[in-house]
Chains A and B, each alone.
Chain A
Amino acid sequence: MGVKLVAYFDVVKQEKGLPGQIRLAMLTKMSSITASAAEDSLANIQKFEAAIAKIREERLE
């Protein structure tokens, strides 16, 4: 349940820190807690992938 989704939070934390995590939650409308309870469905994974890609393009402070 949501293992992959939670992993995205870890990835973005390593790359962008706390602002990256907050930005990921905002873009996906899912907190890390919600993500852990959500399905690792294709739709959710695509949503997180798209959000991660967007965050990587952004300059977060």
Chain B
Amino acid sequence: MCERYDGSVSLSTKLVVLLLCCLVGLGAIAAIALHQVDTVRRDYQVLLDGPVAQARAAQIVQVDFKKQVQEWKNILLRGHDAADLETYLAKFKAREFEVQTGSRQLLEQIEDSDTRERLMRFIQAHDQLRADYQGALDALAQTDHDYRIADGMVRGRDRPPTDLLDEVADRLITWCESELIAQQERIGRARRMVFATSSILAIGLLMAGAAVARSVSVRLARLRAVSDRLAQGDIEGLRIDVSGTDEIGALGESMKGVLAAFETLLAEARVTIDSNPITVTMRGPP
């Protein structure tokens, strides 16, 4: 005779569900981590395209402007030779053009109003300086390269725009640094979130696994104790306290039947013995 278990939630189903939960949990942790990595990557790209690029552009304009001023000094010092004058003048104009285009391109990118205002003042000052340099160049040509007259016309005029450009670059670099710090804080938060989420998931899975393991081991231990007492015939006051809808619960129910059958058998045996007392006669050796 064979009794088949038809419980609603079998032990194997519980284990499969637990395994699936583990897989889903691991998948969730991986998805969260990947999402955070992607977010950090995008944030860094925004940082590179914004603050870093603007600070770098400002530094390039700074360098170009310093080179432009340096080329002016070359014109004054070495421009008495026509060929050298032509060379240094070409370099001077090239630097001047780079400063003009670079500063205007930078202005289109900057959103901060104070920084924009400073850069606009620089552009205006640079335009004025351009006119001043042109006047000095004209004077240089008219005075047979008397550099003292030309130098006197523009001496110190490059300092205000230099200061303005330095302020622009400093503000952009400061902004860039603050954005980097903010980005590092965001990374720290993301790292903590991934750690916390994975810890919660891991703890949840561990608790679920421990609950299943404990449920199995505790009930099996009870059934073993019952089995040991049945094997010894010690059924007085024996009760089977094993519940559940899985195979162990079904085994517990089955053992309740076995215990009931055992009790019935003993009861019948007692009735039979009581109604048919056995007389044993001891005899000596023949």
Contacts and interface: CB of A to CB of B under 8 A. Distances in A.
B261 interface: yes
Contacts of B259: 29, 31
Say whether chain B's binding surface is mostly helix, strand, loop, or mixed: helix
Contacts of B234: none
Contacts of A21: 264, 268
Interface stretch (B89-97, B98-106, B211-219, B250-258): B250-258
Q: Which of B256, B257, B258 has the most CB of A within 10 A?
A: B257
B17 interface: no
Say whether chain A's binding surface is mostly helix, strand, loop, or mixed: helix
Interface in B174-228: none
A44 interface: no
B104 to A, nearest CB: 93
Interface in B237-286: 253, 256-265, 267-268
A28 B254 CA distance: 10
B253 A31 contact: no
B83 interface: no
A48 interface: no
Contact of B267 (A26, A28, A33): A33
Contact of B263 (A18, A23, A31, A58): A31
Interface string A9-33: 1000000001001111111111111
A22 B256 contact: no
29 contacts: A9-B264, A18-B268, A21-B264, A21-B268, A22-B261, A22-B264, A22-B265, A23-B261, A25-B257, A25-B260, A25-B263, A25-B264, A26-B257, A26-B260, A26-B261, A28-B257, A28-B260, A29-B253, A29-B257, A29-B259, A29-B260, A30-B260, A31-B261, A31-B263, A31-B264, A32-B263, A33-B264, A34-B260, A58-B1
Given A25-B264, A29-B257, A32-B263, 5 more contacts: A18-B265, A22-B264, A26-B257, A29-B260, A30-B260
